Amino acid sequence: MQSSPAVIGVDSSTQSTKAVLVDAASGQVLAMGRAAHTVSGDAGARESDPEQWWRALAEAVAGALAGFDARVVTGIAVAGQQHGLVVLDGAGRPLRPALLWNDTRSAPQAAALTDRLGADGWLARTGSVPVASMTAGKWEWLREHEPRTAEAAAAVRLPHDFLTERLGGTAATDPGDASGTCWYNTATGGYDPGLLDLLGLDPARLPAVAPTGATRVGSLTARAARELGLPEGIAVAAGTGDNMAAAVGLGLGGRGLLDHPVVSLGTSGTVFAATRTRPATAALAGFAATDGTYLPLGCTLNCTLAVDKVAALLGLDREDAVPGGEAVLLPYLDGERTPDLPGASGLLTGLRHTTTRQQLLGAAYEGAAFSVLRALDELPRVSGDVPLRLIGGGARGRTWVETVRRLSGRAVVLPRTAELVALGAAALAAGAASGEDAVAVAAAWGGGEGETLPPLERDRAAWDRIAAVLPAYDALERR
């Protein structure tokens, strides 16, 4: 029976909530619970009921606590899917379903915002150029399409903010997740008054920004304690966004590794690194990290789910793939964020009589991996000799791992801990409970350590074949 202090880290993602119970001293994951989410919408719409996230959090925490004494838990933190727009009434109830990060309906609003200040103007302030994913564009979409709802909103939250407030009763966020809104200024470290004026957004509607995601922003309320089966009064951390939490779980940041690249393969594909260099390039989202450093990040909308869809269409198992031969498949099934083509669809070219189904599936892997990996060259201060840390659901798939190795030509580290977002949240909870630096805690836990696979000779032919298709496709989609 666990007797030493433990913490709970929550990963509230697009598809599900996972909660891990972690020994606060060793970082050992003692148990995990999980509950699924429902995402609705078509024609670019992607929405979820925030109340569903709270019910899923309770179910996941119950699963993690099964067989354990809840009295050992000293803190809890939430890492959530970034960018989602949650609007609440005065009682904290959602006025409508949340607009999720992969809802592309706000593309025209994001483009209009970019035109207002120019790409350089946005980069100077937020480190990012508005795209459909960013919260500012979603807020503008709501103002244009549902003005009564926007006017009625007493509070505007990100997904993790919503859950954190339910836990501790305090409206709080952190620099990392806030930096994905496009109304937080990464140069000044706070909300940008000029951008809030541009968006018609009263700062009183927004949560306070805690210094770090490990800051204790409240204590578990009596009501939340009853619903979750946890001790009342335990530490509630500010929490952060999912990518920032994954970085913490890997031990990346000011008290850990800097300038070490990570590729995450999940519903979306991301590449990022913790750095002291504030990024300002349109090719990346210039996020803040949760610990005061920066987290420049490239993100694609279409990754593992898109490849699984291609496998299903071909009647193949996801691992029944071989390199694509002459075929190129760009799996932009839900539009795309990088490149910024929200209305895009998938493209298949290079078919021959000799092309097999297995090669077509391999081409889908290559297209998805290429889209993520090409952002590596944009990361500041990242050496080509530093191994990639490969995380996310795809990191457990043989074909994903081999495709990344073949197209990158880099050594790859496969961290032993699978649930790094939840582990990072647990480190934030430990920091909130103890006052320790969360990145240092996670680094001591060793979450970023694992098997290292040596580099393969880079498949330049496949890389160049895909790269040659993109300019013509980009021009066609932008007409």
Task: Give one DSSP letter per residue of 99-161, joined into a string.
Answer: EPTT--TTHHHHHHHHHHHHHHHHHHHHSS---TTSHHHHHHHHHHH-HHHHHH-SEEE-HHH
* Residue 70 and residue 229 in contact, taking contact as beta carbons nearer than 8 Å: yes
The one catalytic residue among 242, 334, 340, 437? 242
Local structure of residue 96 (DSSP, 8 states): S
Of 100, 183, 184, nearest in space to 138 by CA:
100
Report the b/e string of 325-338 with b at 16+ CB within 10 A.
Answer: bebbbbbbbbbbbb
* Residue 37 and residue 70 in contact, taking contact as beta carbons nearer than 8 Å: no
The Cα–Cα gap between 243 and 237 comes to 17
Please provide residue 242's backbone torsions phi and psi, each rounded to the nearest 5 degrees: -65, -40
Match 């990012």 to its residue by tokens.
128
**11 tagged catalytic:** no
The Cα–Cα gap between 248 and 336 comes to 27
Burial class (CB in 10 A: 0-12, 13-18, 19+), 299: buried
Report which residue type is found at 8. I
Q: Classify the phi-psi angles of 104: left when phi > 0, otherwise alpha if psi is within -120 to 50, otherwise beta.
A: alpha
Annotated binding residues, written as ranges, equal 82-83
Task: Give one DSSP letter per residue of 197-250, joined into a string.
Answer: HHHT--GGGSPEE-SSTTSEEEE--HHHHHHHT--TT-EEE--EEHHHHHHHHT
Residue 8 bridge partners (DSSP): 21, 76
* Residue 99 and residue 106 in contact, taking contact as beta carbons nearer than 8 Å: yes
Task: Give one DSSP letter per residue of 265-314, joined into a string.
Answer: ESSSEEEE--BSS----TTSEEEEPTTSSEEEEEEES-SHHHHHHHHHHH
* Residue 302 and residue 189 in contact, taking contact as beta carbons nearer than 8 Å: no
**What Cα–Cα distance (Å) separates residue 118 from each residue in 74, 111, 180, 267?**
47, 10, 18, 30
Vertex 250 angle, CA 249 and 254, to 5°? 95
Report which residue type is found at 17. T
Annotated binding residues for substrate, written as ranges, equal 82-83
Active site residues: 242
